[in-house]
Amino acid sequence: MRALTALRALTLAFVGALAFTSAASAAEVHVMISGGLTAAYKALVPEFERKTGHKVVTAFGPSMGTTTNAIPVRLARGEPADVLIMVGYALGDLIKQGKVAADSRVDLVKSPIGIAVKSGAPKPDLSSADTVKQALLAAKSVAYSDSASGVYVSTEMFQKLGIADQMKDKARMIPATPVGEIVAKGEAEIGLQQISELKPVSGIDIVGPLPEPLQKITVFSAGIASVSKEPDAGKALISFLASPDAHDALVKSGLDPIAAGATH
C-alpha cells in the first residue's frame, strides 16, 4: 500500500510538473496585422493557440498611412508587438528603420486586386484594360483603399489608363475602413481593393480581379518586431502561417500562398 501511495504521489508530482512547464512555456504573442490576411488569420489563430498553448493578442490596422490604427503609428506609440503581418514593401521599410529583425522576414502570400459593386448592381466587364477604363469613366463614384492597392490605383493605374484627370473628382481614398463597406452602403458605385479584403464584406458582389495588363500583385509578409518580448513564440506563429496547415484557409480567403524559400 505504501508503495502504491508513493507511486501515486510521484505520478501526481510528474503531472503537476508537466502542467507547470506547459504554463511556463505558454506565451502571449502580440500581433499587428493589416487587412489583406485578416480573414484567413482569424480562422487560423484558434488552431495555433490550441496546438501551442500560446495566446495571441491582435491589433488590426493598415500597413501604412497616418491613421491612429496604422501599424507604423501603433509602433511609434509604443504598443506591444511581437509579430508584424503587412504589405511586404512596408515591412521592408520597417526593417530598414531597425524596427523589424531583418532575418525574421517571411513572405506569406500574394494578393490580387479586385473590383466590387453593391449586391445586385450591374457588373462591369473586366475582360480588358479598355473595358475597365470604360467602367470607371461611366461610374459616378469610385473608392479605393489607403494601403498598397489604393496607392497603385491612384498613382499608377489611372495614369496608365489615361483617366487621371477624369477620376480626380469622383474617385476617393478610404482611410482604414474596408472599401467594400463603402460600396455596400451605396457611397461608391465601384470599389477597388485586394480580393482578400473584399471577401469578408457582406452586401457586395466581387466582380473579379483586374485583368492582367492592369493587375498589381501585393506580397504580404511577416516579421518579428525589434521590441518583441516573445520572439520565439512569434516565430512559431509565422512558421504556422507559412505551413501546409494554413494553406487551405489562405486560398479560401482569396490569397495565393508563397512556397517556403521562394524569393520576391
Provide the pLDDT confidence category of residue 9 given band limits of 50, 70 and 90: very low
Q: Do domains 25-110+218-257 and 113-209 have the same CATH topology?
A: yes
Kindly state the average pLDDT of the residues 102-128: 97
The answer to whether residues 83 and 238 touch, using CB atoms and an 8 Å cutoff, is yes
CATH code, 25-110+218-257: 3.40.190.10
Predicted confidence (pLDDT) at residue 226 exceeds the cutoff of 90: yes
Predicted confidence (pLDDT) at residue 8 exceeds the cutoff of 90: no
Identify the weakest region by mean pLDDT among 3-17, 21-35, 185-199: 3-17
- Can you identify the CATH homologous superfamily of domain 113-209? Periplasmic binding protein-like II (3.40.190.10)
The ranges assigned to domains in the chain are 25-110+218-257, 113-209
Kindly state the average pLDDT of the residues 8-35: 60
Report residue 9 as a C-alpha cell: 504521489
Provide the pLDDT confidence category of residue 46 given band limits of 50, 70 and 90: very high
Predicted confidence (pLDDT) at residue 6 exceeds the cutoff of 90: no
pTM: 0.79
Which amino acid, one-letter code, is at 251?
A: V
| DSSP letter for each residue of 203-225 | SEEEEEEPPTTT--PEEEEEEEB
- CA separation for the pair 116, 135 (Å, rounded): 12
Q: What is the pLDDT, as a whole number, of residue 22?
A: 41
Describe the strand order of the beta sheet including 28-33 as a list of residue ranges.
Answer: 55-60, 28-33, 83-87, 218-224, 106-111, 256-257
Provide the pLDDT confidence category of residue 261 given band limits of 50, 70 and 90: low
Report residue 106 as a C-alpha cell: 517571411
